[in-house]
């Protein structure tokens, strides 16, 4: 297995314990945590049953906790019924109706506070709009929106009527959008005329139009939220403005009670081969872990102002924007834009003005803001912050320390949370008042989560610091249900080893002498660019789709800010450019990939060669390409190559 990404963390010895003052004000105390571990240890299933009874309002209480008769298709709380939107909104109306649910800030600076009562009304009204456009329980709804409150309203409205939403990140291209629409066979697309990002307008409606022109025959209606007000095309008979769609409709909408296993949403994520997978999540189990992790890892309290900077197009924006904070009655910030508009102080400015107490972002953002220098955050009053979180990729100890020192002023515990689209919620993460932290380690598995590092035979590696496969040995409530429409792929991707006994996360990891987990990277060919998982296969396919490209291989190269950058090797139809340089073509191919997949997938570098290095069985030698991309000395055996002269070409030396 590949052991890339073993960072300097190997020698990381620093340890940090929460201050006495933090422990005193924490709601999740070390004692409570110890109790939870004890209960889970005694009987894992009974433990989750108790959590589910305590944390969720069931319409019909479940009598079976876990049905494992058709493993690995585990079904949690199968005979219970509930509604996710009811659990997020209606149950706050009794005591929290006037509490602010959402503080929205647009990139241009517009600000809106939305109370729970107001949010409830808007969700109900929009749910009625969906219903009046024939959306019923089980229908798929594509949401392609900017990061604005209406994206959450749209998701909640779907949940309210039992429709299955599938959010597509606003940075994805028309082709990616089309693929997702077609895979879900969605009836309806919810989008906006545009969104503000990086001082520009993102043309969401135009991209939607382009996607629909390529096929997508199932789509009957496109609902368009007016965000920017700039001019766009509206196709008569198909497109309708959000405000028109909900006009005169009531502000009440009875929740549709669904089975706990009813799909709440699909979210597409990259795999190493083939098309993106529609990760299917349940309603009951998913919501439960969204709630428990809000309590355990974020220690959420009534007075907190919670801000997760993730876009709703990613799982983090589902669990810790659209569902977790609302289901725990929190006040949260939603920000539309990028961290650097008008300058690199934007995040800290928002933290200061909105009194943010819990801040959750990605290592790529931390590294970018760190590069901008300490003077910028030092200009702001960040004294309200009490917990800082990170997610999406391994955080280098340097960035961890900067976050801890400069942003948290050594007062705020850092919660480095390991989880995945497929796990639905945090799996391995500190509990801030109880867990000693080490820069670069996501620490320990949460109560009820049985994480382990095993070797190729599925045997647990007990020797400290020896790398292996990260697996889960027991099912957990918010686990992936299946890959939409492809049960076989679910089994072959996540349960391929050890007789299907363990969930394979696809990451390599090691545990230190204290049992702490250190994530080392992906074991497959998936890149992690700025915290976004990109399949090398997809980028290669996009390159090969260009008329001049015959073959392409893509690898990741460690990058200061982005974590990994996309590095590609291309074989052209016809002759290789003179000296391997053709700047015009390189620009054209980068733009092409941007169009096909999205700007995040654009290769940073492209090298042209006469051939790609392959094994005799025809597999591209990716490890060799990674070595070359990183300018390292080649130690692999290249004697099996049919054409060794390509090596200097791949190295950019010929």
Interface positions with ligand WTA (CB under 6 A): 269, 314-316, 391-394, 416-421, 442, 505-507, 519, 522, 528, 533
Tell me the β-bridge partners of 172.
Answer: 598
37: how many CB neighbours lie within 10 A of its CB? 18
Question: What minimum distance in Å lies between the beta carbon of 278 and ligand WTA?
Answer: 13
Residue (316 or 586) nearer to ligand WTA, CB: 316
- Helix, strand, or coil (residue 383): coil
Mind giving me the DSSP string for 454-519?
E-TTS-B--STT--EEEEESS--TT---EETT-HHHHHHHHS-SGGGTSEEEEEEEEE-TT--EEE
E strand or H helix at 151: helix 149-161
Q: Which residues of 38-59 are buried (b: 16+ CB within 10 A; e: fewer)?
A: ebbeeebbebbbebbeebbebe
Question: To the nearest whole angstrom, how small is the minimum distance from the Cβ of residue 312 to ligand WTA?
Answer: 13
Q: Identify the three-state secondary structure at position 138.
A: coil
Q: What is the dihedral of CA 140, 314, 297, 515, to 10 degrees?
A: 110
Residue nearest ligand WTA by beta-carbon distance: 421
- Provide the minimum distance between the beta carbon of 149 and ligand WTA in the complex, in angstroms, as a whole number: 22
CA distance readout (Å), 530 to 359, 362, 440, 632: 18, 8, 17, 23
> How far, in Å, CA of 291 to CA of 285, rounded?
10
- Cβ at position 339, least distance to ligand WTA in Å: 18
Kindly tell me which of 173 and 316 has the beta carbon lying closer to ligand WTA. Answer: 316
Residues with Cβ within 8 Å of residue 157, at least 6 apart in sequence: 85, 123, 124, 126, 127, 129, 130
Nearer Cβ to ligand WTA (65/396): 396
Residue 11 beta carbon to ligand WTA: minimum distance, rounded to whole angstroms: 18
The distance of closest approach from Cβ of residue 282 to ligand WTA in the complex, given in angstroms and rounded to an integer, is: 17
Shortest distance, position 441 Cβ to ligand WTA, whole Å? 9
Task: Name the minimum Å distance from CB 317 to ligand WTA.
Answer: 10
- Nearest approach in angstroms of CB 474 to ligand WTA is 18
List the Cα angle 620/624/628 in 5-degree steps.
125
Cα 267 from Cα 76, distance rounded (Å): 20
Evaluated on CA atoms 62, 63, 68, 69, the torsion sign reads negative
- Nearer Cβ to ligand WTA (7/83): 7
The two structure tokens encoding residue 430: 């500190």
Beta carbon of residue 396, minimum distance to ligand WTA (angstroms, whole number)? 11
Considering the complex, state which of residue 167 and residue 232 has its C-beta at the smaller distance from ligand WTA. 167
User: 196 — alpha (psi -120 to 50), left (phi > 0) or beta?
Assistant: beta
Task: In whole angstroms, give the CA distance from residue 319 to residue 312.
Answer: 9
Give the Cβ contact number of residue 420 at 10 Å. Answer: 17
Of residues 181 and 391, the one with the C-beta less far from ligand WTA: 391
Q: Which of 281/522 has CB closer to ligand WTA?
A: 522
Minimal distance in Å, beta carbon 281 to ligand WTA?
Answer: 12
Angle between helices 583-596 and 174-184 (to 10 degrees): 30
Least distance in angstroms from the C-beta of 507 to ligand WTA: 5
CB nearer to ligand WTA: pick between 394 and 467: 394
H/E element, 550:
strand 549-559
Least Cβ distance, residue 526 to ligand WTA (angstroms): 8
Q: Decide whether 130 or 519 has the Cβ nearer to ligand WTA.
A: 519
Q: How far is the CB of 12 from ligand WTA (least distance, A)?
A: 14
Residue 600 per-residue DSSP state: G
Question: Are β-strands 468-472 and 451-454 bridged in parallel, bridged antiparallel, or unpaired?
Answer: antiparallel
Q: CA nearest 72: which of 487, 635, 532?
A: 487
Using the minimum distance from each CB to ligand WTA, give the nearer residue, 366 or 646: 366
Is the Cβ of residue 315 or residue 330 nearer to ligand WTA in the bound state? Answer: 315
CB of 299 to ligand WTA, least distance (A): 18
Q: Which is nearer to ligand WTA, 177 or 391 (CB)?
A: 391
Task: Write out the DSSP string of 351-382.
Answer: HHHHT--EEEE-HHHHHHHHHT-SHHHHTS--
Whether the bond into 72 is cis, omega within 30 of 0:
yes
Distance CA 283, CA 262 (A): 6
């Amino acid at each position: 297995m590949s052991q890339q990404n073993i960072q300097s963390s190997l020698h990381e010895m620093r340890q940090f314990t929460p201050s006495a003052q933090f422990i005193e004000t924490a709601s999740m105390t070390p004692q409570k945590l110890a109790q939870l571990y004890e209960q889970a240890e005694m009987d894992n299933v009974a433990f989750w049953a108790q959590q589910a009874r305590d944390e969720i309002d069931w319409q019909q209480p479940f009598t079976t906790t876990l049905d494992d008769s058709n493993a690995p298709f585990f079904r949690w709380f199968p005979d219970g019924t509930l509604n996710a939107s009811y659990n997020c909104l209606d149950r706050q109306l009794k005591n929290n109706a006037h509490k602010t649910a959402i503080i929205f800030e647009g990139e241009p600076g517009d600000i809106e506070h939305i109370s729970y009562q107001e949010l409830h009304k808007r969700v109900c009204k929009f749910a009625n709009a969906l219903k009046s456009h024939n959306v019923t329980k089980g229908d798929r709804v594509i949401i392609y929106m900017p990061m604005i409150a209406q994206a959450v309203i749209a998701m909640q409205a779907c949940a309210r009527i039992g429709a299955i939403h599938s959010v597509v990140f606003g940075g994805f291209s028309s082709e990616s959008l089309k693929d997702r629409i077609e895979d879900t066979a969605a009836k309806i697309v919810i989008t906006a005329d545009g969104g503000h990002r990086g001082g520009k307008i993102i043309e969401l409606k135009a991209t939607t139009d382009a996607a629909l022109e390529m096929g997508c025959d199932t789509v009957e209606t496109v609902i368009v939220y007016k965000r920017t007000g700039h001019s766009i095309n509206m196709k008569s008979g198909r497109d309708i403005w959000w405000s028109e769609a909900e006009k005169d409709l009531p502000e009440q909408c009875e929740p549709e009670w669904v089975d706990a296993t009813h799909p709440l949403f699909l979210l597409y994520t990259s795999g190493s081969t083939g098309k993106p997978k529609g990760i299917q999540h349940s309603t009951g189990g998913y919501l439960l872990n969204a709630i428990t992790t809000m309590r355990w890892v974020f220690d959420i309290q009534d007075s907190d102002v919670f801000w997760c900077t993730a876009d709703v197009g990613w799982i983090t924006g589902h669990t810790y924007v659209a569902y977790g904070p609302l289901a725990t009655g929190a006040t949260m910030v939603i920000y539309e834009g990028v961290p650097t508009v008008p300058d690199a102080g934007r995040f800290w400015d928002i933290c200061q003005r909105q009194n943010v107490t819990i801040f959750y972002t990605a290592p790529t953002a931390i590294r970018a803001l760190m590069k901008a220098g300490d003077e910028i955050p030092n200009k702001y009053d960040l004294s309200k912050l009490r917990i800082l979180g990170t997610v999406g990729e391994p955080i280098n100890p340097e960035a961890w320390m900067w976050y801890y020192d400069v942003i948290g002023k050594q007062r705020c515990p850092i919660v480095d949370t390991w989880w995945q689209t497929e796990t639905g919620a945090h799996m391995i993460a500190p509990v801030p008042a109880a867990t000693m932290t080490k820069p670069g380690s996501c620490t320990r598995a949460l109560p009820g989560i049985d994480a382990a590092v095993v070797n190729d035979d599925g045997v647990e590696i007990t020797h400290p610091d020896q790398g292996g496969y990260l697996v889960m040995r027991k099912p957990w409530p918010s686990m992936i249900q299946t890959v939409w429409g492809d049960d076989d792929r679910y089994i072959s991707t996540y349960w391929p080893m050890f007789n299907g006994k363990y969930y394979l996360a696809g990451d390599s990891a090691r545990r230190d002498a204290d049992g702490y987990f250190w994530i080392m990277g992906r074991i497959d060919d998936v890149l992690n660019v700025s915290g976004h998982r990109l399949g090398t296969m997809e980028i290669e396919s996009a390159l090969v789709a260009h008329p001049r490209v015959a073959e392409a291989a893509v690898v990741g190269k460690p990058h200061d800010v982005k974590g990994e950058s996309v590095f590609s090797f291309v074989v052209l139809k016809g002759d290789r450019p003179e000296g391997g340089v053709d700047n015009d073509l390189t620009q054209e191919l980068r733009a092409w990939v941007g169009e096909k997949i999205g700007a995040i997938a654009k290769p940073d570098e492209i090298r042209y060669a006469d051939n790609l290095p392959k094994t005799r069985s025809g597999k591209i030698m990716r490890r060799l390409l990674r070595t070359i991309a990183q300018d390292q000395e080649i130690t692999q055996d290249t004697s099996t190559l049919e054409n060794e002269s390509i090596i200097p070409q791949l190295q950019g030396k010929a």
